[in-house]
Chain A
């Protein structure tokens, strides 16, 4: 990932994080909140791989936590892991698949929700699983609606890499 790409991704995620905390967090449709920063992270991770995904997730989480004066590191932790996983998926089975952004967003929305819930639970804070589950479906739907335009925009800014940049061999474990 070049420096230019890094700056573009940082700018994208910065804008997405600010929009998330100032605009999208106030949108509540059937209990669900659209997660622009998560969708943007998925797009960046799919197009630039696991390392970029992990760094982007950490960076985006840091902005969100700072802007909301929340538990610093909490969102970073979950988004770092999320960005890494999606990046790995993009580097391996997800590449060249048209549905990859949508399936990634749907899966990561669920994992992110339960990841945040788990961290809150481990910190001994209130972790209302019922309300999280209730809000999950509308959140997935809204995130999927955001996926197409966000992915198209990120794809314009961060051109897909050449085939040679992807992993060409896999290591069998076990």
Chain B
């Protein structure tokens, strides 16, 4: 009985305090008494804060250290992502530049007019030493056929040797089995561009009595006799003569040609598909 009375009294007092406090939260005798009480308790609270401060500082130190480590890991990850993104962007800019150059070439005066360009990205690059081939993302659905010439903005790259539906294999000029009829643009001497030493090409089958000068431009020869049409149209730049040599026992000149197209870093190329096909 006593305990219930005590409980009831305390609850009623608490409710009374609550009611008064709720009705006049900022003024009145109860508010004043509470303010005095708070002032009286303030020193104890300050003492409590001071006692706890070293522990709180230690906790904050450990906590901030932990947060700093977490932040460091987070920012390192962000930096890695941004670096990867920057590399991707740089690659995209480079690709854009290549595409712009390719577009300029396609609308330039040296572009063969009877052909339309099928622009394609290079999907894979030469990897072995036995064959020099790349894979492009254009195939028969876009008109690419066997022996379709492939050019970059700089000049001839090679020809399609395995056309697929949506991708094709291109054998590069630097492949040992590649042979392209070509001529000296200045002296009009004809020969056969073949794979040479150290990434260069040679203009083969040039008789010793012909004249080829260092610095001459070499372009595709094109069709000479309509009965034997050439795969490559006339005038596609191939390279520039860097050395001309001969020997007493050789039947032909040794003409070394530096290719214009950098086949090791091709991003985009164009396959030349005859118009109307």
Contacts and interface: CB of A to CB of B under 8 A. Distances in A.
Contacts of A132: none
Nearest to A72: B21
Contact of A73 (B7, B17, B41, B49): B17
Interface string B21-54: 1100100001000110110010011101101100
Interface stretch (B8-16, B72-80, B84-92, B122-130): B8-16
A71 B21 CA distance: 6
A72 B18 contact: yes
Contacts of B46: 22
Nearest to B37: A66
A90 to B, nearest CB: 12
A65 B56 CA distance: 24
Contacts of B16: 73
Contacts, number: 97
Given A22-B49, A22-B52, A50-B3, A63 B41 contact: yes
Interface residues of A, number: 34
Interface string A80-117: 11001001100000000000000000000000000000
Interface in A52-80: 54-55, 57-58, 61, 63, 65-69, 71-74, 76-77, 80
A contact patch SS: helix
A55 to B, nearest CB: 7
25 contacts: A14-B44, A18-B44, A19-B52, A21-B48, A22-B44, A22-B46, A22-B48, A23-B56, A51-B3, A55-B10, A63-B41, A65-B34, A67-B38, A69-B38, A71-B21, A71-B25, A73-B17, A73-B19, A74-B18, A74-B21, A76-B10, A76-B14, A80-B7, A84-B7, A123-B18
Interface of B: 2-3, 6-7, 10-11, 13-22, 25, 30, 34-35, 37-38, 41, 44-46, 48-49, 51-52, 56
